[in-house]
Structure 1
């Protein structure tokens, strides 16, 4: 599966990817989505280097061999696309659950001795070029230094035990568990520590939600993953036989999901599903037993709530309540 964000994207098609294929806890590489904003860069892995600078005591220039010589770590984490940056309220439900392997970002920054004045890490990709008529010198994102305290952000070199492919951002990409995929910069070539946010186009214009606070509209960075749940069984437009049915899906968010509810009558009534506990930053499986009272067409819905009490809105946001239509014969 591939996609390229452009003005020609068919948004209705983006709303309903083949979620029915995502039945494995760890998503097979063949089913992991990949996206790019500009042309994919060509990188020579033998000569690739990562520059680390800005508000640091020691500037670094690291090769793949340098990274491989450092302590390695793994994390199983949900990888979710935030959606089309020009249409941020359209749910696209592009998601996977993968095992990343690489070096903790904190290990690299420890070598550089980050200044106490640093508040943000800017990450630069090797990709650049035209984006809807805007000349982008390089794809740049940022993240708060405070998010490094958990120690799970990493410079990933492997996905599901395989070397990170070119299309998925290899040889090295930044991975920030709990943040939307747009923040996990692909084709990583530079890190810069700063006391301010990056002025880059994808931090100041794209990937910002408009929120009203105290009557004033403000831009809110698209960073932390909002609670989300989808059904993978049954699939959209499935034709089911009468009798007991099993509704199965995945739920995830930056914070652990503590409750998933399912409705089989277009949202009139909701009931709790059985929910697995979270490991690492992985998604959580939920299951719901349903006995349709009669034949006919049913709209099934699911929604998740996280440990902070945050849930999924009905509509108008990227994590709007998920629904499918099925027919019981």
Structure 2
């Protein structure tokens, strides 16, 4: 995997494969991006526990063996990073498609009994430390409780058929399909049911989109994933023979299923509709279209996805802006 730089700053806690390596429907473990904010904490798996607390009828603590003994669910889902929280409009195309296995959050919360006044769930990880000059006692995120009744939100113990290792947030991480990866808290140690949002740094300062509407600042939590797509083949700066039929293919995904993907081979002057495969659970969706370059030279290829609610990708200045690469068409020899 590649080291990653953003605005000239080296991010040593990130590993990210090139887009052209994402050829498989189920992303192999060595091609799944890896990112942590404050380093990987030291985990004692034998004594690890997660506690359900707050506005519940019964405070419950589970050990790893307790969760292993409960019913396990498999969920196939795309997994996307929201990008650097200091640069929310910079697209990083950090995505994978994986199979999680674990215990349904809904069943765990049912055992604790959620009180009627609970409106948010705060999830806390074992990681803490210095994040760009700010001391963080623990990584804490929150989600609206009304979104968490689905069967496919997990306390995940496995990734692609193997136990979660330390770098992936093991032994247990929260997994919320359709939400950006920052909400799937790694090294999970507690779930706290509360009436209001968490006051933590990663809910009040980081991972919020801000815009000014009618003279007022509107803050939107970075929760549900916006429609997104990328071209896997051909790769950026690939050389293609003029007249040769090329199958452009890539992946599209979002919180809601993708209905349409359009592809341009002329820098956005014209768009053609690609074939889009159906979604499996929360997976990304393969799209493809045939193209035969009619002239030599550089061609700019772009793609844009539209979901079932009609939401699409902006042209620029957004984490999910339209994906673009250049390829070179040359005369065959």
Give the TM bin, normalised by the shorter chain.
over 0.9
Length-normalised TM-score, structure 1: 0.96
Is the Cα–Cα contact under 8 Å of residues 53 and 193 in structure 2 kept in the other structure? yes
Aligned residues: 326
Find the aligned partners of 2:7 and 2:230 in 1 and give their Cα distance: 27
Find the aligned partners of 1:325 and 1:272 in 2 and give their Cα distance: 19
Find the aligned partners of 1:99 and 1:217 in 2 and give their Cα distance: 38
Is the Cα–Cα contact under 8 Å of residues 266 and 300 in structure 1 kept in the other structure? yes
SS at match of 1:114: coil
Segment of structure 1 superposing worse, 249-258 or 145-154: 145-154
Per-residue deviation, residues 38-82 of structure 1 (Å, max 9, x unmatched): 021011111000011000010011001100111110100000000
SS at match of 1:202: helix
Per-residue deviation, residues 148-176 of structure 1 (Å, max 9, x unmatched): 12222110000000000110000000000
Find the aligned partners of 2:45 and 2:4 in 1 and give their Cα distance: 24
Report whether the alignment pairs 1:175 with 2:172.
no
Find the aligned partners of 2:304 and 2:175 in 1 and give their Cα distance: 26
Find the aligned partners of 2:279 and 2:113 in 1 and give their Cα distance: 33
Segment of structure 1 superposing worse, 147-156 or 78-87: 147-156
Q: 1:2 to 1:206 in 2, by over 3 A?
A: farther
Name the structure 1 match of 2:126. Answer: 126
Alignment of 1:38-53 (within 5 A): 38-53=38-53
Length-normalised TM-score, structure 2: 0.95
Alignment of 1:139-288 (within 5 A): 139-242=139-242, 243-288=244-289
Report whether the alignment pairs 1:311 with 2:312.
yes
Find the aligned partners of 2:224 and 2:135 in 1 and give their Cα distance: 27
Find the aligned partners of 2:70 and 2:179 in 1 and give their Cα distance: 24
Find the aligned partners of 1:164 and 1:81 in 2 and give their Cα distance: 18
Is the Cα–Cα contact under 8 Å of residues 106 and 153 in structure 1 kept in the other structure? yes
Is the Cα–Cα contact under 8 Å of residues 174 and 185 in structure 2 kept in the other structure? yes
Instruction: After TM superposition, give the deviation of residue 132 of structure 1 in Å.
Output: 1.1
Instruction: After TM superposition, give the deviation of residue 244 of structure 1 in Å.
Output: 1.1
Find the aligned partners of 1:57 and 1:89 in 2 and give their Cα distance: 42
Find the aligned partners of 2:26 and 2:222 in 1 and give their Cα distance: 25
Q: Please identify which structure carries the higher strand content.
A: 2
Report whether the alignment pairs 1:293 with 2:290.
no
Q: 1:29 to 1:39 in 2, by over 3 A?
A: same
SS at match of 1:182: helix
Q: Which runs of 5+ in 2 are unaligned?
A: none
Instruction: After TM superposition, give the deviation of residue 211 of structure 1 in Å.
Output: 2.7
RMSD over equivalenced CA pairs, Å: 1.7
Name the structure 2 match of 1:322. Answer: 323
Find the aligned partners of 1:6 and 1:313 in 2 and give their Cα distance: 21
